[in-house]
Amino acid sequence: MQPKNPQAVVAQLTRAAIFLVVTVNPGKENEAAVRALCGDLAALLRAVSFRDLEGRLSCVVAFGSAAWDRLFGTPKPEELHPFREIRGQHHAPATPGDILFHIRSARMDLCFELATQIMSRLGGAVSAVDETHGFNYFDDRDLIGFVDGTENPVEQAACDATLIGDEDAGFAGGSYVIVQKYLHDLKKWNTLPIEQQEKIIGRTKLSDIELDDDVKPSFAHNALTTIMEDGKQLEIVRDNMPFGDAGKGEFGTYFIGYARSPHRIERMLENMFVGQPPGNYDRLLDYSRAVTGGLFFVPSASFLAKFAAD
């Protein structure tokens, strides 16, 4: 079953992004305002993107489990549930969030203008709980110096990895997305020899070549986040972005992963925070701390468009 009319989940990676997470305030009128925005979002996007057609502006809107119940009722996507916190050697917290807006463009001003228009339209219907501005850092590296997203699937493989098909036919073209905000201890990280950093990540730092299996430790980040099932790798699409505040000494990576099932990302996180086997956790977490966590469902563009007709 070919997914129909999805949102821009597999949009081309960009140089700028805004990750905006909000909660819906109590009241039927606020829920109605959110549903009205669903119908207007495509028009808002067209209006802002028309200012620079080469800016490649896109926006994905996704909803948490509790918000879905309030806004849309039933039926509900089969695997939509609240983000499950993980307590292992390190902690992956679950934090508030009803709606995620993932705004991407080659230009930050376009991202900012669309975010402004969205919040202006919603007014007092929502409360912002997190807004993070991400940027492309040199040759697609994160702030710890390694290339991020090397193994992302592309083209049809990306669609196959992210878009629901006949396994939940009522929501075909939809996707699941998990987000986490990580803060890095760069001072501590930068005291490590390059060879030790490479073993923690599982790739060479300069050339971005994956380490051979006989050299790569079992706790390497890319070893623990490679999920095999029935002899096949379960892929996701990452669009992680660095962010920071040099004045505050804050440096981080905003993780965002899209998949046709949240199960595959949850397995990755379980391996990272608890370990595979338990205790063999991701050593990157000794230097990078998760401070947010949310799971959302991305309905198809057709689902959103019906609110314009209503």
Active site (catalytic) residues: 148
Which residue, 108, 155, 149, 122, is CA-closest to 41?
122
Asked whether the beta carbons of 299 and 171 are under 8 A apart, the reply is: yes
Burial of 154 (0-12, 13-18, 19+ CB in 10 A): exposed
Residue 68: phi and psi, rounded to 5, are -60, -45
User: Whose CA is closest to 21, among 184, 186, 256?
Assistant: 256
Q: For residue 71, list its beta bridge partners.
A: none
d(CA 143, CA 27): 41
Q: Which sign does the torsion angle of CA 63, 65, 71, 75 carry? A: positive
One-letter amino acid identity for 239?
A: D
- Helices assigned H by DSSP within the chain: 28-49, 65-71, 108-122, 155-162, 186-189, 194-201, 221-224, 262-273, 301-309
